[in-house]
Amino acid sequence: MSDQKTDQMTGAEIVIKALKDQGVEHIFGYPGGAVLPIYDEIFKQDWLHHILVRHEQGAAHAAEGYARSTGKCGVLLVTSGPGATNAVTGLTDALMDSIPLVCITGQVPTHLIGSDAFQECDTVGITRPCTKHNYLVKSVDDLAEIMHEAFYIATSGRPGPVVIDIPKDIQFAPGPYMSPEKISKASYQPPKKGDLNGIREAAELIASAKKPVFYTGGGVVNAGPVASKLLREFVGLTGYPITSTLMGLGAFPASDNQWLGMLGMHGTYEANMAMHDCDVMINIGARFDDRITGRLDAFSPNSKKIHVDIDPSSINKTVHVDVPIVGDVAHVLEDMIRIWKETACSPDKQAISDWWQEIEGWRKVNSLGFEQSDTIIKPQYAVQRLYELSKDKDVYISTEVGQHQMWAAQHFHFEEPNRWMTSGGLGTMGYGLPAAIGTQIAHPEALVIDIAGEASVLMNMQEMSTAVQYNLPVKIFILNNEYMGMVRQWQQLLHGGRYSHSYSEALPDFVKLAEAYGATGIRATNPGELDAAITQMLDTPGPVIFDCVVSKDENCFPMIPSGKAHNEMILAGEPADVEVSEEGKALV
Amino acid sequence: MMMNDRSIEAHTLSVLVENAAGVLARVIGLFSGRGYNIESLTVAEVDGEAHMSRITIVTSGSPMVIEQIKAQLSRIVPVSRVTDLTVEAEAIEREMALVKVAGTGEKRVEALRVSESFRARVVDTTHESFVFELTGAKTKIDAFVQLMRPLGLKEVSRTGIAAIARGPEAM
Ligand SMILES: Cc1ncc(C[n+]2csc(CCOP(=O)(O)OP(=O)(O)O)c2C)c(N)n1
Ligand SMILES: [Mg+2]
């Protein structure tokens, strides 16, 4: 520990001081007995803004939205026992999507740990598999160091959530403070620079490709705006097509002609076909997730694969790659561009132009097309109109989970990173509203819209109170199909149309619900009134719940059914009963 | 693409960790959470001043799974080093066992005779029992236990495998 013996502080004071020194301005939380000393310190100061959520899961997702839309670490504070267990879904979500969070949990006093005390739970035990790292603070002497180390671990390497469990007696105990510069970070040193030989090998392979495709992911967004800039530069230099996972949307501008749209289970025909037929795949910051690969043994069978990832455990996990490069995407791209220019790499123009021709053929399929209606609002149309009417604003989008999420990914287009907050890895219904709140806290002047499903949004609907309390003008745009649409779709396609418990029975009147919270409710039921209603929503200064009543039985296409390959995608308008193997059915 | 079904190999991994609370739980949780096998696991502090412990794990899986296990272990924050003693070096592997055998007459004499040929030490004796201490490779201990079975084997306590690379280099 340091020799800098400043005045002693209480544990709670140390927590607050450490937050200040880490540059934290906002903390999402919910009080309780085991964190009262920390709340007392929050009461005594005025620079740290505490946002009182209505459920600890909401605190975690709000912190995630805050983190994703800023690139900073999100911070939350919850009490022991139920406070901590309520946060677990959000922590798991952050772990799966590599979101930096620091979560402070109160714990029963040290001498009661293990006695089944009131509101005691084994927080470090419960959160061990859903955090990047966690701590139970055993002595106030370690507290400052742990606080700073937690921020360092959450934000460096592959980011993730870190829990600090602080027994109440330690919050009262006097101890030393130590500033962030003083802590030793020796034991955790994730790589930054990629191996130059690997990068050279990759550059050669990229230059020699005849049917290349860039496949990018959330790692580009996590590596900061500079990584997106470098990606644009490199993709531009090569002239190659690029697709991205759900998590990576916005890292490359959707308006660019080289952009193929999202890939994967509900990705575009051109993106998935390019992945299947390519000869060189350039994976930058993506992880060959099962939503992306489909059937593994038929995944891009003829390609050489390059994989850039900061996490060595992502490499060769499910898909064998030919050129692995472990490093931060921004650093690797910087070196890659330098080498590319130095060695005057020049792609085979003829081959690339032939490849583009093939891709143009796939593009003509217009896989995101849908049958328009002038009597009912099609959900895809609703997202398209929302996009057209809001794209010139400073807009951030969050989503819940389901069909609406996929339609948002397909039809709302992103030009910049950090604009798209969605639960990818865990697929957490109830993510979108609190994430929108966190995003709005970070960007008070921006337009923040949660594109929601009527089922998902009810899971954290209580956060409307938070939005109203802090005057956060979030717009909740519900594609209300009265179904857990994604579940209904699977039941239709894979379970013989037996719609077991997927109907959204007994829904509230969302307009009245908004009003009950003190917000504004708007409803649109036919395409003719949609634009005016959306405009009204955008012009409303406070929070809005928009009940967009859409067709009930729309399916989300294209779709690669579980256990199928990229080139076995089903498109809209094709016969809708899918032959899926028993093995495929067992997949999720 | 997926190579999980390739030949299964056993590997001995040495993992140097910070001796802090919860580290062992994280290591074990990784194996149970991701469905990896643990055939043997030993842990003890090896450097009191630096607070470092060494965990030796014998695991098995396809080459791709073994690579995953090593990468996943390295990712645990308080893990400072992971070495695969099965591929990176020629390693010495030893296990210690305490073996209790009870019996009289012919069987007792035979048990003692077998223990001598295995260079086991007698660490406790009564008129009707022995406790043998035996150190060696896993296979040697397996063989010894097997031989003791008909001679009145009562119980066995084994340490699990400790391993170290040959030669002057440290892990
Ligand atoms: C917490 C949670 N529970 C269950 C699921 C499984 N699930 C995935 S999508 C979905 C339906 C979502 O319905 P809705 O929010 O109305 O969206 P839609 O698909 O209709 O657009 C369900 C139940 C989930 N993803 N998360
Ligand atoms: Mg729905």
Is A486 in the active site?
yes
Q: Which of B6, B75, B81 has the highest number of chain A CBs within 10 A, making it the mutation to test binding with A?
A: B75
Residues A356 and A409 in one domain: no
Per-residue pLDDT tens over the stretch A171-222: 999 999 999 988 876 678 898 999 999 999 999 999 999 999 999 999 999 9
* Chain B residues lying within 8 Å of A296, measured CB to CB: 1-2
**What is the C-alpha to C-alpha distance for residues A32 and A85, in angstroms, rounded to an integer?**
13
- Asked if A443 and A344 sit in the same domain, the reply is no
Pairing mode of beta strands B153-165, B91-102: antiparallel
Question: What's the whole-number mean pLDDT along residues A32-45?
Answer: 98
A49 and A143 inside one domain: yes
Give the residue-averaged pLDDT of A561-573.
90
Position A581 in a domain: no
Whether A568 maps to a domain, the answer reads no
What is the rounded distance in angstroms from the CA atom of residue A324 to the CA atom of residue A235? Answer: 19
Please report the ipTM that was assigned to this predicted complex: 0.91
pLDDT tens column, A386-427: 999 999 999 999 999 999 999 999 999 999 999 999 999 999
- Mean pLDDT throughout A13-28? 98
Quick check: is A546 catalytic? no
Same-domain status, A114 and A229: no
pLDDT confidence of residue A294? 92
If asked whether residues A163 and A77 sit together in one domain, one would say yes
List pLDDT tens digits, range A106-159.
999 999 999 999 999 999 999 999 999 999 999 999 999 999 999 999 999 999
- Residue B149: band (very low, low, confident or very high) from pLDDT cuts 50, 70, 90: very high
Instruction: Give the model's pLDDT for residue A186.
Output: 62
pLDDT band (50, 70, 90) for residue A6:
low
State whether A45 and A158 are in the same domain.
yes
Mean pLDDT of all residues in B12-22: 94
A264 and A146 share one domain: no
Residue A397 belongs to some domain of the structure: yes
Q: Which of A484, A503, A505, A553 to mutate to test the pocket of ligand 1 (most atoms within 8 A of CB)?
A: A484
Residue A556 lies in a domain: no
Judging contacts by C-beta atoms under 8 Å, the chain A residues touching residue B1 are 296-297, 299, 318-320
Question: In whole angstroms, how far apart are CA A494 and each of A36, A490, A557, A564, A577?
Answer: 51, 5, 15, 13, 7
- Read off the CATH number of the domain in which A203 is found: 3.40.50.1220
The residue to mutate among A456, A482, A489, having the most atoms of ligand 1 within 8 angstroms of its beta carbon, is A456
Residue A419 tokens read as 């604009």
pLDDT band at B2 (very low <50, low <70, confident <90, very high): very low
User: Is A43 one of the catalytic residues?
Assistant: no
| A443/A534 same-domain check | yes
Instruction: Identify from A297, A316, A322, A583 which residue to disrupt to test chain B contact, counting B C-beta atoms within 10 A and taking the largest count.
Output: A316
Cross-chain Cβ contact B26/A187 below 8 Å: no
Q: Is residue A356 part of a domain?
A: yes
Instruction: For A414-431, give the DSSP string.
Output: -SSTT-EE---SS--TT-
pLDDT at B40 over 60: yes
- Looking at residue A344, its pLDDT comes to 87
List CB contacts (< 8 A) between B68 and chain A. Answer: 313, 316-317
Q: What is the pLDDT at residue A505?
A: 96
Residues A271 and A334 in one domain: yes
High-pLDDT (> 90) share of chain A, %: 92
A154, part of any domain:
yes
The reported pLDDT for the residue numbered A576 is 59
Q: Among A174, A206, A237, which residue terminates a domain?
A: A174
Specify if A437 maps to a domain: yes
State the pairing for strand pair A101-107/A133-136. Answer: unpaired
Residues lining ligand 2 (ion), CB within 5 A? A 453-454, 481, 485
- Which ligand ends up closest to the CA of A458? 1
To the query of whether residue A56 is one of the catalytic residues in this protein, the response is: yes
Provide the percentage of residues in chain A whose pLDDT is more than 70.
98
Which ligand number lies closest to the CA of residue A484? 1
Range of the domain at A90: 6-174
- Asked which of A174, A208, A228 is the last residue of a domain, the reply is A174
Q: What is the pLDDT of residue A7?
A: 72
Q: How far away, in angstroms, is A485 Cα from ligand 2 center?
A: 5
If contacts are CB pairs under 8 Å, which of residues 127-156 in chain B contact chain A? none
Looking at the structure, do residues A166 and A211 belong to the same domain, yes or no?
A: no
Task: Give the mean model confidence (pLDDT) for residues A544-562.
Answer: 96
Handedness of CA B45, B51, B56, B57 (dihedral sign): positive
pTM higher than the cut 0.80: yes
For every residue of A385-412, which 3-state class applies, written as one string?
Answer: HHHHHHCCCCEEEEECCCHHHHHHHHHC
d(CA A225, CA A71): 9
Per-residue pLDDT at A185: 67
CB–CB contact B74 A312 (8 Å): yes
Name the residue of A429, A451, A477 whose CB sits within 8 Å of the most ligand 1 atoms, as the mutation to test its pocket: A429
User: Using one digit for the tens of pLDDT, what is the confidence trace for A255-310?
Assistant: 999 999 999 999 999 999 999 999 999 999 999 999 999 999 999 999 999 999 99
Q: Examine residue A210 and state whether it is found in any structural domain, yes or no.
A: yes
Over residues A355-374, the mean pLDDT reads 97
Tally the domains of chain A.
Answer: 3
Reported as a pLDDT band with limits 50, 70 and 90, residue B166 is: very high
> Residue A436 belongs to a domain with what CATH number?
3.40.50.970
Q: Note whether A14 and A149 are same-domain residues.
A: yes
Do A419 and A325 belong together in one domain? no
pLDDT digits (tens, 9 = 90+) for A460-484: 999 999 999 999 999 999 999 999 9
